[in-house]
Structure formats: structure tokens, C-alpha cells
């Protein structure tokens, strides 16, 4: 008998029993749960009894006129109330996308907000039958394992696989809103920055991001010990740029990510590189696009990747970046 009970309790729990349990736990009433599920009250009671047998512990205290969760029931409800909605959402997504062409894209949050999303309407206009799903995450996704078709990555060339296509490189330069340049202290030379608030990333001083720091830029421009009027730090690049757009200070921005704002005159590059050679500093990082191996032959995935590459050509032209090889193994 002991062996049979152990074997029973090691089997996967039936999903129907979990739905009955969740309904009873939510209503704390067998009759209301039965009505919601279009079952008889006795059928729901049998499902709960079977679930309790499988779990090996009572889930409810059954009083004459009320039902109460036990400690085991409360523990199970916490897990079930999170799992069932996620399962239902996944099924809804599968049903909605069945038979439709779609492309799943992963990239980091700042790139999605500042570069990809503002341009996405053009792709959707030209490809109205392709659905796009963007997952913004600062953690790299394994394209061999995840349900992702295209990844946009931020990394040095040495860390990218041979199939990666280069979008554009990275540089940083002081930028500000026209309003700040007109109303604030003059900005004619790098020393004038000390009269302004300088905006930068709060995590920029970690070793792998040090080339994005104001300290590096100031050192390169002969201001090793200089301190600005004040510092203003943010977690994400798009937050930094938003602060600069509203005139709160001068940001050390990446031209490829703010090319649209520069073109519209919402941001201005403070110092011309022709006059100040160190005004725009190049970093070892670049932006890349990769297709998942299992997705690379799908026409909609190739169409999206080709569109991203075409948009990158326009960005390089707008920022004055020289033409670069597309393939990693063509780079020195």
C-alpha cells in the first residue's frame, strides 16, 4: 500500500483538477465554482478529493456553511494563480498567431526605445501581413534554445559569431537641447562644460562600460581634474537623452541612437569634431544583427533582418560614419 501511495503522489497533477481547485479557492464555495465551470457540485468535489489524494494533504477545511483553505492549500494556490494565467496567455497568443507570419525580436531596452521602435512603423507599412514581437532585455538570449528569430546585440567584434552582420559602430559626443545652448552659459570650448550639469549612466563606471563615461571624455580633452556644476545620473540611455531633450543638462550621447533627434534639431552636437578632434570618441563596441539558425530561411525573418540592415545604412550616413564591413570575419 505504501508503494502505491508513493507512486500515485509522484505522478503529474491533472490540469483539470488544478482549475477546479483554483475556482473553489477563489470563491471559497463549491457551488459557485461548479456554476463557473459548468459542472455539477459533486463533480467539482470529486476533482478536489482526487487532487488532495495526489498531493497527499487536505487543501480545504470543509465547514457546514463555509470552506477554508489549509496551509497546504494556500501554498498551492500561490503557485496555481501564477501558472494558470501564464498558460492561458500563451494559448491565446498561439491561437491568435496560428497561420500568420511573425518575427520575434530580442534586443536591449535602450536600443528598442531609441532606435528600433521609432522606425518600426515603416516596416509594418511595407509588410502589413507580418506580426512583430519585441522582447526587450539586457540579458543575451540563446538563439539556439529560445523562441526568438532575430537578435540585435551590443558587443565588440571579438564576441560575435561569424554570421553576425554589423549595423554600425559606436561613438560618444556631448549633446544638448537648442534651448539649453541659447539660455544657459555659453558652450564654446570643453572647459565651458564645467558650468553645466553633466548627464551620464549610473553604471558607466563598471569596467566594460568605462568608454561611455564623462571622466574618459574630460580626460581626453585635457580636463583631468575638472568637476562640473553638478552630475545627473540615470539607469538607461533613453532616460539620459530624455533629460537632455528637456534641457536639464549636457549628455554624453551615442550618435547612432539619437540620429533622429539630431536630424530634427531636437539635440545638437555641442562641439564640432572638425574643430575639436577629441569631441567625438570612438568605443570598441558596435551593434549587430543575428538570425536564429532555425529561422534564417523563413522569408519574413530575412525580410526583417534586411530591413534592419537598410535602416542601419541610413543611420551611418546620418552620423557620418564611414562604410564598414558587414561580416564579423571581414573585420581586422
Cell, residue 271: 562641439
Q: What 8-state DSSP symbol labels residue 321? A: P
Task: Using alpha carbons, list the distances in angstroms from residue 81 to 12, 50, 77, 84.
Answer: 18, 19, 6, 6
Q: What 8-state DSSP symbol labels residue 295? A: T
**What's the pLDDT score for residue 139?**
74
pLDDT tens-digit series, residues 232-287? 999 888 899 999 999 999 999 999 999 999 999 999 999 988 888 899 999 888 99
3-state secondary structure of 17: helix
What is the C-alpha to C-alpha distance for residues 235 and 109, in angstroms, rounded to an integer?
Answer: 11
**What's the pLDDT score for residue 208?**
64
For the chain, what is the mean pLDDT?
A: 86
Domains of the chain: 2-97 (1.10.10.10), 106-168+285-319 (3.40.190.10), 169-283 (3.40.190.10)
Q: Check pLDDT > 90 for residue 73.
A: yes
**What's the pLDDT score for residue 146?**
73
Q: What is the mean pLDDT of residues 54-66?
A: 89
Q: What is the mean pLDDT of residues 4-14?
A: 58
**What's the pLDDT score for residue 99?**
65
More confident site: 205 or 197: 197
CA angle 12, 92, 103 (to 5 degrees): 110
Residues sharing a CB contact under 8 Å with residue 44, sequence separation 6 or more, in sequence order: 20, 23, 24, 30, 33, 34, 37
Cell, residue 35: 456554476
Q: What 8-state DSSP symbol labels residue 329? A: G
Cell, residue 214: 564623462
pLDDT tens-digit series, residues 157-177? 999 999 999 999 999 999 999
Q: Check pLDDT > 50 for residue 325.
A: no
Helical axes 15-27 vs 71-97, angle rounded to 10°: 120
Cell, residue 327: 561580416
| CB-based burial label for 199 (10 Å; 0-12, 13-18, 19+) | buried
The CB-side HSE value for 320 (13 A sphere, CA atoms) comes to 11
3-state secondary structure of 118: helix
The answer to whether the CB of 127 falls within 8 A of the CB of 303 is yes
Q: What is the mean pLDDT of residues 106-113?
A: 91
What is the C-alpha to C-alpha distance for residues 243 and 196, in angstroms, rounded to an integer?
Answer: 13
Amino acid at each position: 500500500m505504501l508503494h502505491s501511495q508513493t507512486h500515485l503522489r509522484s505522478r503529474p497533477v491533472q490540469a483539470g483538477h488544478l482549475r477546479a481547485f483554483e475556482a473553489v479557492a477563489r470563491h471559497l464555495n463549491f457551488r459557485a465554482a461548479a456554476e463557473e465551470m459548468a459542472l455539477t457540485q459533486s463533480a467539482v468535489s470529486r476533482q478536489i478529493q482526487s487532487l488532495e489524494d495526489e498531493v497527499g494533504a487536505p487543501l480545504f477545511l470543509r465547514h457546514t456553511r463555509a470552506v477554508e483553505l489549509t496551509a497546504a492549500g494556500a501554498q498551492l494556490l500561490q503557485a496555481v494563480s501564477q501558472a494558470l494565467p501564464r498558460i492561458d496567455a500563451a494559448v491565446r497568443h498561439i491561437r491568435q498567431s496560428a497561420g500568420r507570419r511573425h518575427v520575434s525580436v530580442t534586443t536591449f531596452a535602450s536600443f528598442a526605445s531609441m532606435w528600433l521602435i521609432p522606425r518600426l512603423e515603416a516596416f509594418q507599412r511595407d509588410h502589413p501581413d507580418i506580426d512583430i514581437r519585441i522582447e526587450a532585455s539586457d540579458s543575451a538570449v540563446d538563439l539556439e534554445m529560445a523562441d526568438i528569430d532575430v537578435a540585435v546585440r551590443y558587443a565588440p567584434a571579438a564576441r560575435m559569431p561569424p554570421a553576425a552582420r554589423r549595423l554600425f559602430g559606436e561613438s560618444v559626443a556631448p549633446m544638448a537641447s537648442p534651448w539649453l545652448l541659447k539660455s544657459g552659459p555659453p558652450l564654446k570650448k570643453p572647459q565651458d562644460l564645467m558650468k553645466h550639469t553633466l548627464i551620464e549612466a549610473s553604471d558607466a563606471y563598471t569596467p566594460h562600460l568605462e568608454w561611455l563615461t564623462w571622466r574618459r571624455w574630460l580626460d581626453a580633452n585635457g580636463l583631468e581634474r575638472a568637476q562640473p556644476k553638478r552630475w545627473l545620473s540615470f539607469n538607461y540611455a533613453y532616460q539620459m537623452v530624455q533629460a537632455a531633450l528637456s534641457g536639464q543638462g549636457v549628455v554624453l550621447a551615442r550618435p547612432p541612437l539619437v540620429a533622429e533627434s539630431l536630424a530634427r534639431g531636437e539635440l545638437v552636437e555641442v562641439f564640432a569634431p572638425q574643430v575639436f578632434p577629441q569631441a567625438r570618441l570612438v568605443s570598441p563596441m558596435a551593434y549587430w544583427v543575428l538570425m536564429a539558425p532555425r529561422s534564417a530561411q523563413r522569408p519574413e525573418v530575412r525580410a526583417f533582418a534586411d530591413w534592419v540592415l537598410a535602416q542601419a545604412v541610413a543611420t551611418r550616413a546620418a552620423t557620418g560614419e564611414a562604410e564598414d564591413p558587414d561580416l564579423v570575419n571581414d573585420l581586422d
